[in-house]
A = this chain, B = another copy of it.
Amino acid sequence: MNKKIAVLPGDGIGPEVTAVAVNVLQKVAEKFNHQFTFEEGLVGACAIDATGNPFPEKTWQLCQSADAILFGAIGHPKYDNDPSAPVRPEQGLLAMRKALGLFANIRPVNTFKTLADASPLKREIVEDVDFVVFRELTGGSYFGAKGRSDDRNSAYDTCTYTKDEILRITKLAFEAAGKRRKKVTLVDKANVMETSRLWREVVQQYASDFPEIELELMFVDNAAMALIQNPRRFDVILTENMFGDILTDEASVITGSLGMLPSASVGSQVALYEPIHGSYPQAAGKNIANPMAAVLSAATLLETSFNLMEEGKAVRQAVEEALNNGFVTVDINPTNHLGTREVGEKICSFI
């Protein structure tokens, strides 16, 4: 197979973990006789520094010409304390999602047996947690009209959704549930938000054609509790952009494996794969970041964009083997650990 992968390392630890993922993909190509070409592009703070634009035209063209995108993370502390700055790294991320039509962010959350004790939650609560969140990614208050009054004394953000925007991600969520434990939990705030009521309308109507799939309706405040009290109850969670942002981050820490969780953002054309951890600037350049989430993102890329199931499985097994042998970074084992690159080499050696 001959494929072109756009590599967008981004900021902070992005470049280090992405480099490991690229090595792993290269090893897969050798071993399974594929031809992967990698081309790098700028996005985020590094793109602002180099071009003044957090998502340069050139990066956009690169993405459109690629068969899949491997993404690191964006964000830099120098922008964090000034969210009113006219140009910010996050704008690059949002522009990229919108420009590429990446309307669904898919985040599996599962507990790694060897890591269950790393969770802040009790073992009996996090054991065997296995769900996936479908977060809408190009709608809601992220992209609605926003601004200030003329005297700048008041501000507004508009959350908007159309039936079509809701329907297309609903289809993906139900499809996934059909291959899993056949349950979709729609998370909204329909007792307050009109957009949430539209979500319920569309999802309930769509669900009526799939009687074999259970549809559960849950308010977002309840979901924030249920994720902690009983995360095993979830199979597929479907939700809008902002609620998804909050709940996926909450979900990512309950298993104790934030550094292990990949994600995929899909749309009509090319898909993007990224670890769900952020740019973690304090760790940048120190060779301490956990590369496993980036590597598992590469596995998801192989499976989802290239339909290379065996190859994806080989990568997952290599990660599992590294874990079982204790070849892990400091976040997983504070007393006995390897560096980012060294963990990467171990994973490659297991492929």
Give chain A's interface residues, CB within 8 Å of chain B: 80-81, 83-84, 88, 90, 94, 120-122, 125, 141-142, 144, 146-148, 153-164, 189-198, 200-201, 217, 220-222, 224-225, 227-229, 242-243, 245-250, 252-254, 258
Main DSSP-derived SS at the A contact region:
helix
Rounded to whole Å, the gap between the CB of A172 and the closest CB of chain B is 20
**Given A229-B253, A242-B189, A250-B250, residue A157 in contact with residue B195 (CB < 8 A):** yes
Chain B's closest residue to A163 (CB) is B153
B224 touches A141 (CB 8 A): no
Complex CA distance for A190 and B252, rounded to whole angstroms: 21
Complex CA distance for A158 and B153, rounded to whole angstroms: 16
Between A122, A157, A250, A258, the greatest number of chain B beta carbons within 10 A of the residue's beta carbon is seen for: A157
Rounded to whole Å, the gap between the CB of A179 and the closest CB of chain B is 27
Cβ contacts under 8 Å, A158 to chain B: 156-159
**Given A121-B120, A157-B194, residue A245 in contact with residue B221 (CB < 8 A):** yes
Chain B's closest residue to A192 (CB) is B142
Rounded to whole Å, the gap between the CB of A12 and the closest CB of chain B is 14
A162 touches B154 (CB 8 A): yes
Chain B's closest residue to A254 (CB) is B228
Cβ contacts under 8 Å, A247 to chain B: 224
A225 touches B253 (CB 8 A): yes
Chain B's closest residue to A222 (CB) is B249
Contact of A194 among B147, B224, B227, B246 (CB under 8 A): B147
Rounded to whole Å, the gap between the CB of A291 and the closest CB of chain B is 20
Rounded to whole Å, the gap between the CB of A10 and the closest CB of chain B is 15
Cβ contacts under 8 Å, A242 to chain B: 189
Complex CA distance for A90 and B196, rounded to whole angstroms: 15
What would be 29 A-B contacts, judged by CB atoms less than 8 Å apart? A84-B200, A88-B191, A94-B192, A120-B122, A121-B122, A121-B228, A122-B122, A142-B192, A144-B156, A146-B193, A148-B194, A153-B162, A154-B161, A154-B198, A155-B194, A155-B195, A156-B158, A156-B160, A157-B195, A189-B242, A221-B245, A222-B249, A224-B247, A225-B249, A227-B250, A228-B228, A228-B254, A243-B246, A250-B250
A224 touches B197 (CB 8 A): no
B159 touches A197 (CB 8 A): no
